[in-house]
């Protein structure tokens, strides 16, 4: 759904830019076509299509590289975390200033980054597990003592029976 929303926003922005360029106005500037702004009457070369480099967006997802060669949308624009193609050269994104080309540190789930206060942590001096083992051992011993006490008391309170076999009783 995020991809659909992003596509819709880019398409809406592209339509807005296209409508402004067709109307002849760009903000407060008037766009005049057919005027040669170059020196010595030599026309400017046609602009070449930009390539937006692949990057990690703000959610940590990799967005693959893409070419800006659709119609008038020749320039890679936007921000380092959200890129799209536009047709205004002055809005071009300087991709060399972006730093989101490598996997973000917080996205590496295999290796959790060290906290600042964990730099002097020595696991051999950690006594937490020892305390847990002692408490569990004491509880287990108390449960066993209780069970054997109950069995002993039940046996002690049973009435005494003669240790005669049936065969011996039959004789008497």
Question: pLDDT tens, 115-165?
Answer: 665 556 666 676 777 888 899 999 999 999 999 999 999 888 887 766 656
- Who has greater pLDDT, 31 or 130? 130
170 lies in a domain? no
pLDDT of residue 158: 80
**pLDDT confidence tier of residue 21, bands split at 50, 70 and 90:** very low
172 lies in a domain? no
Range of the domain at 61: 48-109
Q: Report the mean per-residue pLDDT for the chain.
A: 74
Question: What is the pTM (predicted TM-score) of this model?
Answer: 0.38
27 lies in a domain? no
Q: How far is CA 132 from CA 56, 136, 137, 138, 139, in A?
A: 43, 6, 9, 10, 11
Distance CA 71, CA 63 (A): 22
105 lies in a domain? yes
Whether the predicted pLDDT of 50 surpasses 50: yes
- Per the structure, the count of domains in the chain is 1
66 lies in a domain? yes
69 lies in a domain? yes
Which range, of 30-39, 104-113, 118-127, 152-161, averages the lowest pLDDT?
30-39
**pLDDT confidence tier of residue 79, bands split at 50, 70 and 90:** very high
| Helix, strand, coil content of the chain in percent (nearest 5) | 45, 15, 40
83 lies in a domain? yes
């Amino acid at each position: 759904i995020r991809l659909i929303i992003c596509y819709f926003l880019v398409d809406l922005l592209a339509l807005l830019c296209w409508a402004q360029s067709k109307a002849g106005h760009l903000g407060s500037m008037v766009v005049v076509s057919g005027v040669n702004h170059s020196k010595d009457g030599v026309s400017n070369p046609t602009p070449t299509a930009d390539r937006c480099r692949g990057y990690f967006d703000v959610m940590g997802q990799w967005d693959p590289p893409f070419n800006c060669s659709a119609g008038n949308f020749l320039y890679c624009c936007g921000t380092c975390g959200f890129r799209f193609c536009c047709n205004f050269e002055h809005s071009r994104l300087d991709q060399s200033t972006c730093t989101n080309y490598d996997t973000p540190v917080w996205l590496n789930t295999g290796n959790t980054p060290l906290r600042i206060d964990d730099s002097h942590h020595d696991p051999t001096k950690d006594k937490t597990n020892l305390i847990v083992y002692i408490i569990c051992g004491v509880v287990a011993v108390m449960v066993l003592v209780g069970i054997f006490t109950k069995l002993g008391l039940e046996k002690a309170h049973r009435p005494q029976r003669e240790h005669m076999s049936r065969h011996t009783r039959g004789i008497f």
